[in-house]
Amino acid sequence: MAWLKSLIQLTVTKSSSIRARKTNPFPLPSLALIAQFSTAPTNETPRVTPYSGLGPAKPGEKPRVVVLGSGWAGCRLMKGLDTSIYDVVCVSPRNHMVFTPLLASTCVGTLEFRSVAEPIGRIQPAISREPGSYFFLSKCVGIDTDKHVVECETVTDGAESLDPWKFNISYDKLVIALGAEASTFGINGVTEHAIFLREVYHAQEIRRKLLLNLMLSDIPGVSEAEKSRLLHCVVVGGGPTGVEFSGELSDFITRDVRQRYSHVKNYIHVTLIEANEILSSFDDRLRHYATKQLTKSGVRLVRGVVKDVKAQKLILDDGTEVPYGLLVWSTGVGPSPFIKSLDLPKATGGRIGVDEWLRVPSVEDVFSIGDCSGFLESTGRPTLPALAQVAERQGKYLANLLNRIGKAGGGPADRAKDIEFGEQFVYKHLGSMATIGRYKALVDLRQSKEAKGLSLAGFPSWFIWRSAYLTRVISWRNRFYVAINWATTFVFGRDISRI
Amino acid sequence: MAWLKSLIQLTVTKSSSIRARKTNPFPLPSLALIAQFSTAPTNETPRVTPYSGLGPAKPGEKPRVVVLGSGWAGCRLMKGLDTSIYDVVCVSPRNHMVFTPLLASTCVGTLEFRSVAEPIGRIQPAISREPGSYFFLSKCVGIDTDKHVVECETVTDGAESLDPWKFNISYDKLVIALGAEASTFGINGVTEHAIFLREVYHAQEIRRKLLLNLMLSDIPGVSEAEKSRLLHCVVVGGGPTGVEFSGELSDFITRDVRQRYSHVKNYIHVTLIEANEILSSFDDRLRHYATKQLTKSGVRLVRGVVKDVKAQKLILDDGTEVPYGLLVWSTGVGPSPFIKSLDLPKATGGRIGVDEWLRVPSVEDVFSIGDCSGFLESTGRPTLPALAQVAERQGKYLANLLNRIGKAGGGPADRAKDIEFGEQFVYKHLGSMATIGRYKALVDLRQSKEAKGLSLAGFPSWFIWRSAYLTRVISWRNRFYVAINWATTFVFGRDISRI
């Protein structure tokens, strides 16, 4: 540390000698210098030229693939696109992909929010670097397939003083990967009072509400019934998301609430309401196991159909009233109003209809992948489930297809007509996994409910679940953070700061 | 891995055999079971008994110390209180302490938000465990020093359907540690348009706005002037917070924006506006060094006085208009309206006046520490600066004093009158530190501006700055995360997901 010592000696100041100076020896620049900033746009020079945008790619420029959406399908596609052939433009209201299978873990702090969010620039670096590739924080509001143009509108997320502005993007190839929306089945009050579990901000809202309710229930004067209501967490929907969230909640209660909210620990309960069976896509034996384990962890499994949702209670179809403090809704997904409004051929359930090559057959250069698309009836194929692995596989397939088309010279608009598309997309199910809390999980490696195959439950499954997802996390940064989060949750417990 | 193999073999399922069963072998409970939840409070049983609360400690119970606030002063006090003598009740609208010296680093993602937030239950575990100790997510709205009672109101943070409710807490000893508020000097528009940098949610807002502006400025059709405005980050106030934030911002621009927002990298600029001199509490030589380094990193240092703040521009007193996209305000602090409204003796600047033992002399059993308090004129002592180290030292001193009083039997209300208070509080300044970006910092170990002593700048200071704060972070969990965050920022860069 000799270098440090000598540096310190060098810098010892005799301030008293400096103090004598009256004038400031190093004045800041005067106001004159900042006159350069006075470039506030006046009324004559508009801030934004409305309906400008990216015009068609010129001869000699790379053809442009426009990707709508930044979920599993769109991101896997962008990752696979050959950016020496194409410019990539992504339009999405969020600048990151959510690693959805781990989202439930973030609601109670097992994982941090940022550990499951992957910026698009990290998935496809060309977006940040190439002069012709862009990410636009916007939503698509219209598609003109004749002119090969999408109309977009900026999303400013409530930031005051910024009116959304519109612009157009010409595409050579368009990929619609807009995903789906949580279904409410038209039940009153769901959108207003329940929280979905599809985006990072949903998980943040759940975490804040849970911690708020834990603290409110401790305030003097709160009645016993109100304490029970505040701390009653109700999950509607017994699919993997609902079950995983219930499992995480019960882990949080067992491990953290008992220690850190000891005054109210006996009031907190989790109820999972499902109209049919929980985890219906899994093996019967695994479902039995999950039911037993969840019940053992204190999760109340209830069969029921929700009829109405009020601010502090929900009503089942037999009239039973269930007061709640936190309501999480995860009953499946359906197409968004925008997808429904598109004048394109549709598949079962209102999804965009695609052929065996995932293209929209009636128009040129338009493809659709992920939860917003489905095979047309004419293909004779079944609609694929709304799963991350379907979306990811489609994204990968389409990236390869577009790369092949591009190499064959079919990249520019209207130039792919005579190109052989090659192999069709075939989906092979790799199996399902779900964690149920207490270091237990289910792994079902059968290709369908009817097939034979490996299915297992318990700690080994949990170990496989964690390992599998850790390797699937896209970037090394997030892989590292997921591992670190798991380790610190094990050692220190979950963080309960309400920030 | 033999155990794993055997477990997997054990659990291989022949699903086809199970498939034959027609009935569900493990039905969920019927609706009858959930009738127990139908305990929705009716109009006859109120949810909350208004103005109930914690009554005076009964004979045989531990005396109760009520702490208002959860900043440096209050938290250091709670940490030091002997919970075998006292019950501790903390009232604060946030359930964590913010490690303020590192808050500026979270705005651009050098550190994560949770790494600088310490839950109060981790600082004083008795709050979570002891039956008579509590944390209440509430604000204090009144103090009745005669009755030894504080009036509180819950803070529900915009959560709909929850009206704030009021309750009272009797105290044996009361510690007012409510901190201070950012000063706006009565300038129009500051509260509406500028962001302060005092709480975690401020840092979150800054990060979201910065990333939003980076993305908006990339949208087609945005004029050159509007791009420059959106990406003009203005910091008002050249104290340590303003300077550290400017340094972090310029690091973010140099390291991350150039790589990840290459389309707009030439439009982003940082301007630091200060009416007098930056870092006025530091050694002249260090200030000179900071000025040079900041300018080198591209921060424009400007001397000026802000007269008015509009939505997208601020106006200086000579009429210059400065358009901005992000405005951060850190010009010092003053007492909050609640502190001003209290009918207690006041010190200079409207702070609560205390004597040499940090008690409010005119009333029994009331103490005040941290930024909300100051020595009474009668003590002949100067007002101490609003610094973390002052607050922390006062918290530590008062914890020891209260423990001594408690051991001498003076814990209960009105029983400390005849107890010898012992040593007075004496503040000894340990020096100041500030980082200025680019692995550079200032360390000034002189006890006052006039004293001789060690002062140094550059990389060694930066190393000392990081080491010093790393050891000051309260919990091992956060110490670990701060180190990990620094390491991953170095290796992977900062995270730009806008979540």
Query: How much is the pLDDT for A10?
Result: 33
Q: Three-state DSSP class for A336?
A: coil
Higher pLDDT, A296 or A156: A296
For chain B, the straight-line distance linking the first and the last C-alpha, in angstroms and rounded, comes to 40
Mean pLDDT, residues A123-145? 95
The ranges assigned to domains in chain A are: 64-180+335-408, 195-334+430-492
**Cα separation of A384 and B74, whole Å?**
57
Q: What is the pTM of this model?
A: 0.91
The reply to whether A31 touches chain B by the CB within 8 Å rule is yes
DSSP B54-88: E-PPPTTSPPEEEEE--SHHHHHHHHHS-TTT-EE
State the smallest CA–CA distance between residue A489 and chain B in angstroms. 10
Measured between CB atoms, which of A34, A277, A291 is closest to B320?
A: A34
The reply to whether A451 touches chain B by the CB within 8 Å rule is yes
Tell me which chain B residue has its CA closest to the CA of residue A227: B47
State the smallest CA–CA distance between residue A16 and chain B in angstroms. 6
State the smallest CA–CA distance between residue B13 and chain A in angstroms. 6
Which parts of chain B have pLDDT scores under 50? 1-26, 30-43
Q: How many CB atoms lie within 10 A of CB A218?
A: 19
**Spatial CB neighbours of A413, under 8 Å, sequence gap ≥ 6:** A56, A63, A148, A170, A171, A172, A173, A364, A365
Query: How much is the pLDDT for A45?
Result: 60
Measured between CB atoms, which of B8, B303, B475 is closest to A28?
A: B303
The reply to whether A18 touches chain B by the CB within 8 Å rule is yes
Tell me which chain A residue has its CA closest to the CA of residue B316: A31
Pairing of strands A117-119, A96-98: antiparallel
Query: How much is the pLDDT for A5?
Result: 40
The reply to whether A256 touches chain B by the CB within 8 Å rule is no
Q: Encode A157-172: b = buried (16+ Cβ within 10 Å), e = exposed.
A: eeeeebeebbbbbbbb
**Cα separation of B88 and A102, whole Å?**
38
Are the beta carbons of B322 and A451 separated by less than 8 Å? no
Enumerate residues 306 to 365 of chain B having a beta carbon within 8 A of any beta carbon in chain A.
311-313, 316, 318, 320-323
Tell me which chain A residue has its CA closest to the CA of residue B276: A28
**Cα separation of B169 and B65, whole Å?**
10
Measured between CB atoms, which of A50, A162, A497 is closest to B96?
A: A497
Please tell me the class of the A64-180+335-408 domain.
Answer: alpha beta
Query: How much is the pLDDT for B177?
Result: 98
**Fold match between A64-180+335-408 and A195-334+430-492?**
yes
**Spatial CB neighbours of A281, under 8 Å, sequence gap ≥ 6:** A239, A240, A385, A432, A444, A449
Strand-pairing partners, residue B442, are B434, B457
Q: For residue range B315-335, what is the model confidence (pLDDT) as tens digits?
A: 999 999 999 999 999 999 999
Q: Do B366 and B174 meet the contact criterion of CB atoms below 8 Å apart?
A: yes
C-alpha distances in Å from residue B96, one per residue of B71, B162, B368, B445, B449 = 8, 22, 20, 30, 34
Residue B381 DSSP label: P
Are the beta carbons of A28 and B277 separated by less than 8 Å? yes
Q: Do A91 and A166 meet the contact criterion of CB atoms below 8 Å apart?
A: no
* Chain B residues close to A46, C-beta within 8 Å: 223
Are the beta carbons of A262 and B129 separated by less than 8 Å? yes
**Cα separation of A478 and A114, whole Å?**
8
Instruction: Taking the CA atoms of B465, B468, B470 and B473 in sequence, report the sign of the dihedral they define.
Output: negative
**Cα separation of B463 and B441, whole Å?**
8
Judged against a pLDDT cut of 90, whether residue A12 lies above it is answered with no
Q: Do B81 and B124 meet the contact criterion of CB atoms below 8 Å apart?
A: yes
Enumerate residues 182 to 221 of chain B having a beta carbon within 8 A of any beta carbon in chain A.
200-201, 204, 208-209, 211-212, 215-216, 218-221
Q: Do B279 and B286 meet the contact criterion of CB atoms below 8 Å apart?
A: yes
**Cα separation of B329 and A76, whole Å?**
41
CB under 8 A, 24+ apart: contacts of A14-19: A14/B452, A15/B283, A15/B284, A15/B446, A15/B449, A15/B450, A15/B451, A15/B452, A15/B453, A15/B455, A16/B450, A16/B452, A18/B283, A18/B284, A18/B285, A19/B284, A19/B449, A19/B450
| Number of inter-chain CB pairs under 8 A, A vs B | 392
Are the beta carbons of A216 and B154 separated by less than 8 Å? yes
Residue A34: which pLDDT band, with cuts at 50, 70 and 90? very low
Are the beta carbons of A112 and B117 separated by less than 8 Å? no
Interface predicted TM-score (ipTM) of this complex, two decimals = 0.90
Are the beta carbons of B34 and A271 separated by less than 8 Å? yes
Residue A183 DSSP label: -
Instruction: Taking the CA atoms of B311, B315, B321 and B325 in sequence, report the sign of the dihedral they define.
Output: negative
* Chain B residues close to A53, C-beta within 8 Å: 220-221
Mean pLDDT, residues A370-375? 97
Side chain identity at residue A485, one-letter code: N
Query: How much is the pLDDT for B28?
Result: 53
Mean pLDDT, residues A385-408? 97
Judged against a pLDDT cut of 50, whether residue A9 lies above it is answered with no
Hey, what CATH topology would domain B195-334+430-492 get?
FAD/NAD(P)-binding domain (3.50.50)
**Cα separation of A454 and A442, whole Å?**
11
Among residues of chain A, what percentage have pLDDT more than 70? Answer: 89
Query: How much is the pLDDT for B159?
Result: 57
Judged against a pLDDT cut of 60, whether residue A2 lies above it is answered with no
Strand-pairing partners, residue A313, are A323
* Chain A residues close to B29, C-beta within 8 Å: 300-303
Residue A6: which pLDDT band, with cuts at 50, 70 and 90? very low
* Chain A residues close to B94, C-beta within 8 Å: 498
Q: For residue range B235-277, what is the model confidence (pLDDT) as tens digits?
A: 999 999 999 999 999 999 999 999 999 999 999 999 999 999 9
* Chain A residues close to B131, C-beta within 8 Å: 263
Burial class (CB in 10 A: 0-12, 13-18, 19+), B414: exposed
State the smallest CA–CA distance between residue B58 and chain A in angstroms. 17
State the smallest CA–CA distance between residue A354 and chain B in angstroms. 31
Q: Do A63 and A385 meet the contact criterion of CB atoms below 8 Å apart?
A: no
Q: Encode A360-390: b = buried (16+ Cβ within 10 Å), e = exposed.
A: bbeebbbbbbbbbbbbbeeeebeebebbbbb
* Chain A residues close to B12, C-beta within 8 Å: 454-456
